[in-house]
Structure 1
Amino acid sequence: MAGYYERVARGTDVAGLLEEMTAKNEARIERLEAMSGRAHETIWYPFTQHHGMAPKDITVIDSAYDDFFQTYKPAEPSQEGGLRATFDGSASWWTQGLGHGNPDLALSAAYAAGRYGHVMFPGNIHEPALTLAETLLQTVGNPRLQKVFYSDNGSTGMEVAIKMGLRAACDRYGWDASQEQISILGLKGSYHGDTIGVMDCSEPSTYNKKVEWYRGRGYWFDYPQVQMSQGVWKVQIPENLRSALGPDLEYSSLDAVFDLETRVASEVGQRYQEYIRETIAELVQQQGMKFGSLIMEPVILGAGGMLFCDPLFQRCLAEVVRGHPELFAPGATAGAAAGSSWSGLPIIFDEVFTGLYRLGQRSSASFLGVDADIAVNAKLLTGGLVPLCTTLASNEVFQAFSSPHKSDALLHGHSYTAHAVGCQVAVDSLRTMKQLERSGAWDKYRRDWQPAALPSAPRARPEVWSVWSHGLVGQLSQAPAVEGLFALGTVLSIALKDTQGGGYTSTAAQGLQQRLAAGGEHFAVHSRVLGNVLYLMASVTSTPEALREIEEVLRAALLVE
């Protein structure tokens, strides 16, 4: 071997090669140093107020692999610049599931790009789209869902879902939406995207109230929320609902909060259902409102501020809607609620954020024990590599669009519908995540979250667990600056106390965000805030070592010695 390398050294201009590599690296560093300034001049960022923004506020990402960005920080007089590993603590807006630069998903994309490129979808089929549709229907475990409609992102997928739900309701009840307003039922703080139609499905908020065409067509229930505070899991009842729903509740574990079969039969469950039924009756009978769908983000309302809705309230809302169709149309009778026929209103679950293992289960709807009539998935669908969205629907909803007239069809689509690259990547992403589940890759996290006393009988409900350690949640709940927090699946959400009341415009979480950006021993942490809430999100392949280092930074920042 020594002789081989000696011959190569004599026959190769090693010095010239090193000089060329050095020159290319210097040119690369020069580009990195200039990028934030160039971006400041040319880029209009989403969800960003540019007033007062400077190039120094823009993070330059040189590359990304696994859970980490390689971020570049220019040299300053008092600080050395250069590249640093930075944990992607927002999972790149909740998309990352299998890590950046995943070689297997990159090969899947390359295969589909080389075999298909993009091919027109209407009236055609290719194997990636067909395989994904069949795989997804099997994965989510909802027997109602039989049809798959493709779109490009969560917002457009929800536009499709709304069109489906409203058409099905109007078709059954003989309503003409061109002559009267058909609204939706939802929850306060909900968010389903930024396209005009789905904006109207959310209450007035920072996101939409200054959009010129926003109208807000619906009624949005206030609801109890779950968090740990001072070491105790609490269901906190809004002040304005306590006369109807009763006082705050405390539970021994998060698992107990999700014991819905016990809770739904309790006095609390009865109060929830009575309040919901009376509210809907007043809206319809006294105010003359008509509703075409119930839309919910199961368990956690993401963009609204990581709002953890009491799952019992969502369960009761679905049961009242399905069990009392006469609330929405005189003379209507309850359908086969456990079968494929929708009753009362079509139920739409927006699982764009919460679905496909983000909360530790294949479907976040499984926590509620409710099968939706329409469900939307995106983000983790492709493991975080390329945009793709699916809207799943029951055959009954599908049939509402069937007639001899093309004008009655679902006339919705986009040029890259069911693009083969995205579909193939999604197929392999789902297979990988399911294999991780089967192989016990998350068993250590599950054991950490197991209640002290487990029932001897097999569990009838989904297991509640998180990649964030159970002990961390308990410790941080005692921190003076923490109002409350929760962890579920890959999500950790920390609400900081704010004397001004919190909300999206709060700055209470910025100090913690800056502390995370400073990082720990081996890496910095990129994070996002929603007002007074700082959240962190892992991928489903994050290592325990990386997560525990982040936890130590959180302890150092929030716990007083």
Structure 2
Amino acid sequence: MSLLFKHLRVHQIFGANTDVGKTILTTALVRGSAALKKDVFYLKPISTGPFEDADDEHIKRHCGAYKDRIQTDCLYRFHVPVSPHLAAQLAAGEESQKIVPDNTFISSIASHVRRCASRASGPAHLYVETAGGVHSPALSGTTQLDCYRPLFLPTILVGDSRLGGISATISACESLLMRGYIVDAILLFRDEYYRNSEFLTPYFAERGITVTALDAPPPKAADLADNFTSTERYYEQLDVIPVLKNLDTLHEQRIAELDSMPRRSLDALWWPFVQHGLVKGETDVTVIDSASSDFFSIYKAQDTQEASRLEAQLDGSASWWTQTLGHAHPALTLAAARASGRYGHVMFPQATHAPALQLAERLLHDGPGKGWASRVFFSDDGSTGMEVALKMALRAFSVRERLEGVERKAWAYHGDTIGAMDACAEEGVYTCEWHNAKGYWFDPPTISVQQGRPVITLPPALAVAAKSVNCVTSDSIAWVYDVPGRLDTPLAEVYRAYITATLRSLESSGGSRLAALVLEPLIMGAGGMIFVDPLFQRVLIDVVRGPDPPSLLDAPAPWRGLPVIFDEVFVGLYRIGMQSTIPLLGVAPDISVHAKILTGGLVPLAATLASDSIFRAFYSTEKAEALLHGHSYTAYALGCEVANETLRLVEKQCRSEAWTSAQARWEVSPGIPGAVWSLWDPEFVQAVSRMDNVAEVMALGTVLSIKVKDPEADSPSIPQSTDTTSEASEFAQFSVHFRTLGNVAYFMTSLNTAPEIIRSLEDKIWKALTKSG
């Protein structure tokens, strides 16, 4: 929704408080721009109070000799002199649905800005004046700072020259900066008594923001004619040209910076998961100027002056599966600021702080560790969290084996990154020459929707064991994920026999002994968005734990057989519609790992949860027996505070109308642990599965995966970024950024993506598939 034009400089004007002279100074800027022979546009999105006192009317009265160059507009006008949100409520009466929602309000402003860009005959200026102070409510009740944020317009802050104005101005500016706004200038009246500008000028100069103090207007005269004359004389004497030239320079510098970024990036960056030899040139570089909610604002140099150089692009992969509540969520930003101001970063060994302790207790008592885990180990991200998990499991296994006469080897310490790769298959594409694959990898049976029906597809080895039956069809996704109901089926016996025979074969071959079971429950993410039959994973867990394995109804007991690790970095914490996969599988792990959604995509943090019996494997009076593993940013206070806020908001989202409506479409009752459903419409999933060019499709929670019928291709026939559409709604005008894994295209929403955005995305996917088919 962000907009940026080369020929139209747009600035939004906020006030540090009410009655600080915002309209007076905006009028001066409008007149100054007209004096520079610019086309000038003024927009007051919301006006309350009598018409004759309206800000846009003030500007019309004082256009001076420039009225032919100045156009003023107001989008929403209320005649009651109260806050905009209250004025909107009073106007709507009992019909609250008439109150304009934020997305409609922002769309109307964006449409107006585009119209101004098309009307300008040459270089032009547009000023968008807000109401009251920075935190004054907009029509919906959202504070202006948060409501206007998707527009991401460069800002002019009008400071407070009165008593207390230094604090008000600094607070207002910090509120803007914490939400990512670009503050290009601070203007305020010169006051010879309080002299606020003398303090504010050097204070903000250190922060790269110019403060300009201008003469205050004369007192309001009782006679209207006299007042008009004195006000006109004031405007004629006021010199804002230096301010305007600085704003123009900053506008040009911003465009020049964005223009230069593709070339500079090609020369300086080494991107992850990118073959640079396939990057054709600067047009292949996605320049992200900002992000808000589910959208990137990407920069594209345009030939026409009417076209915005910033375009909305949906973050269709949730930024590598991290986004929980959309980008730049203000509550998470404030949580990070809160912890930053209180702690910065503090080291953690044998220490504690409130954010880390609260998060650990939350994960253990009300989160994915409820009922089985006793400890939380914090690390940096999902990979390091898995390093910790592997170390825990292998130590627990080696301690037990040592008691049986097996000597444990001593290892040198060189870092904490290679172990996770060692748990990957040798032929995997994500490994390196240094890694040494350790283990055995089962090729699992998978679940998908094909031609409108759920299908369990068996890999070749299992198909042989099942006497050439390579797939099982069902009429219901719910039946496929009913693990307890399927445990006594013939297919479960096939799984059990196959897994048991394979493990016995490995043991008899004399190779390395297996010491742990690592699972990505339900979905193998980076491996190709593979939806695994949960029955296979449950049987696998039961087999490695030995006869009569414990169930969820049992009290926590020492681990048995092999320690089991659940890698829930991707699927955990409601990414696939459930807090944890434990209720669905019907068994708890000995160790689980959580990241990504944990901090809402704002800062890196991982939590490795372990049962008490795993913890006891390290418990001793000998330092060498401890878990000698850690990271500089272990239990990062910012991350823990953000995680606590994220989990609070996620739990609230789980009870939202959007979620309950989606669950109803999938015929699932809200609040059932382990129930399978999706934010993607089931009818859409069914329809896509019947398309001629689609091999299979699957959806859970926020995740949609589409496998295209092109097995020899390295990427699907869907383009990586779909074309911008021309629908009437502003929010429908976006392209889609998404990732591919071989011939699988996957799409992922945030947990709070609006249903109308998902429906629009479904329509775009349908059109792209239809076109490519």
Calculate the TM-score normalised by the size of structure 1: 0.89
**2-structure distance, mates of 1:525, 1:33:** 22
1:508 counterpart = 2:719: no
Say yes or no: does 1:398 pair with 2:615. yes
Q: Residue 334 of structure 1: CA displacement?
A: 6.5
Shift, 1:206, TM fit: 4.2
Q: How much has 1:66 moved relative to structure 2?
A: 0.4
Paired with 2:392 and 2:267, the residues of 1 have a C-alpha distance of 42
- Worse-matched range after superposition: 440-449 or 476-485: 440-449
CA deviation string 1:332-378 (max 9, x = no partner): x9678843321101100001111101000111333212201100000
User: 2:710 maps to which residue?
Assistant: 498
Partner of 1:140: 368
The answer on whether the counterparts of 1:516 and 1:527 sit within 8 Å (CA) in structure 2 is no
Structure 1's 459 and 133: CA in aligned 2 closer, same or farther, altered over 3 A?
Answer: closer
- Note the alpha carbon deviations across 1:437-462, whole angstroms, 9 max, x for none: 134540011011117xx9xxx99762
Amino acid in the other structure paired with 1:256: W
- Describe the SS at the equivalent of 1:485: strand
Shift of the 442–2 alpha-carbon distance from structure 1 to 2, 3 Å rule, reads closer
In 2, are the aligned partners of 1:143 and 1:340 still within 8 Å (CA)? Answer: no
Tell me the CA shift for residue 97 of structure 1.
Answer: 0.3
**Which residue type is aligned with residue 434 of structure 2?**
W
Equivalent-residue separation in structure 2 for 1:13 and 1:251 (angstroms): 77
Q: Distance in 2 between matches of 1:393 and 1:474?
A: 39
Report the CA distance shift for 1:156/1:499 in structure 2 as closer, same or farther (over 3 A). Answer: closer
- Residue equivalent to 1:186: none
**Structure-1 residue corresponding to 2:324:** 97
| SS of match in other structure, 2:521 | coil
Residue 274 of structure 2 corresponds to residue 48 of structure 1 = yes
Q: How does 1:271-282 map to 2 (within 5 A)?
A: 271-282=494-505
Partner of 1:362: 579
Cα distance in 2 between the residues matched to 1:45 and 1:56: 16
Quote the residue 1:535 is aligned against.
746
Deviation at 1:323, TM superposition (A): 2.5
In 2, distance between residues paired with 1:88 and 1:64?
9
Counterpart residue number, 2:676: 464
Distance in 1, Cα, partners of 2:304 & 2:239: 38
Check the 8 A contact 1:517/1:526 in 2, yes or no. Answer: no
Pairwise mapping of residues 146-161 of structure 1 onto structure 2 (< 5 A)? 146-161=374-389
Report the AA paired with residue 462 of structure 1: G
Q: Does residue 165 of structure 1 match 2:407?
A: no
Please point out which of 33, 45, 54 is paired with 2:259: 33
Q: What CA RMSD, in Å, does the superposition of the two structures yield over aligned residues? A: 2.5
Q: Does 1:178 align with 2:409?
A: yes
Q: How many Å separate the matches in 1 of 2:353 and 2:398?
A: 34
Distance 2:524 2:379 in 1: 22
> 1:59: how far off?
0.1
Deviations 1:504-553 (A, max 9, x none): xx4331x4134525456411111011111110000001001111111111
1:24 aligns with 2:250: yes
**Pairing partner for 1:113 from 332, 335, 340:** 340
- The structure whose RCO (Cα within 8 Å, separation 6+) is larger is 1
SS at match of 1:218: coil
Q: Deviations over 1:185-232 (max 9, x none)?
A: xxxxxxxxx9311111111234245x2212111001111101111111
Residue 411 (structure 1) aligns with: 628
Max Rg structure: 2
SS in 2 for 1:292: coil
CA separation of 1:444/1:336 partners in 2, compared to 1, >3 Å: closer, same or farther? Answer: closer
Q: 2:323 aligns to what SS in structure 1? A: coil
Report the equivalent of 1:187.
none
What is the rounded CA distance, in whole Å, between the counterparts of 2:408 and 2:546 in structure 1?
24
Instruction: Note closer, same or farther for the CA distance 1:239–1:116 as it changes in structure 2 (3 Å cut).
Output: same
2:766 to 539, 555, 560: 555
Match of 2:542 in 1: 319
Distance 1:288 1:265, change over 3 A: same
1:380 aligns with 2:601: no
Change in 2 beyond 3 A, CA 1:285/1:401: same
Change (3 A) 1:255 1:342: same
Give the match's secondary structure for 1:391: strand
1:131–1:228 CA distance, 2 compared to 1 (3 A): same
- Describe the superposition over 1:411-452 as per-residue Cα deviations: whole angstroms up to 9, x where unpaired: 11111111111100000100110112134540011011117x
Secondary structure, aligned partner of 1:71: strand
Matches of residues 242-253 of structure 1 in structure 2 within 5 Å?
242-246=463-467, 247=469, 248-253=471-476
Residue 481 of structure 1 corresponds to 693
Q: Which amino acid aligns with 2:586?
A: G
- The match for 1:427 is 644
Judge conservation of contact 1:108–1:425 (CA < 8 Å) in 2. Answer: yes
Q: Work out whether 1:203 is the aligned partner of 2:410.
A: no
TM-fit CA distance, 1:79: 11
Once residues 548 and 460 of structure 1 are traced to their aligned partners in structure 2, the CA distance between those partners, rounded to angstroms, is: 25
Q: How far apart are 1:52 and its partner, in Å?
A: 3.8
TM-score, with normalisation over the residues of structure 2?
0.65
User: In the aligned structure 1, how far is the partner of 2:352 from the partner of 2:525?
Assistant: 34
Q: CA deviation at 1:142?
A: 3.6
Aligned to 1:61: 288
**Paired positions, count:** 528
Residue 518 of structure 2: aligned partner: 295
Q: Alpha carbons of 1:336 and 1:384: their partners in 2 closer, same or farther (altered >3 Å)?
A: closer
SS in structure 1 of the partner of residue 289 of structure 2 = strand
Separation (CA, whole Å) in 1 of partners of 2:686 and 2:565: 34
Amino acid at match of 2:753: S
Match of 1:183 in 2: none
The 8 Å contact of residues 336 and 343 in structure 1, kept in 2 or not, is answered as: no
C-alpha contact (below 8 Å) 1:520/1:550 kept by paired residues:
no
Q: Tell me whether 76-85 or 307-316 shows the greater mean CA deviation.
A: 76-85
Deviation at 1:24, TM superposition (A): 1.7
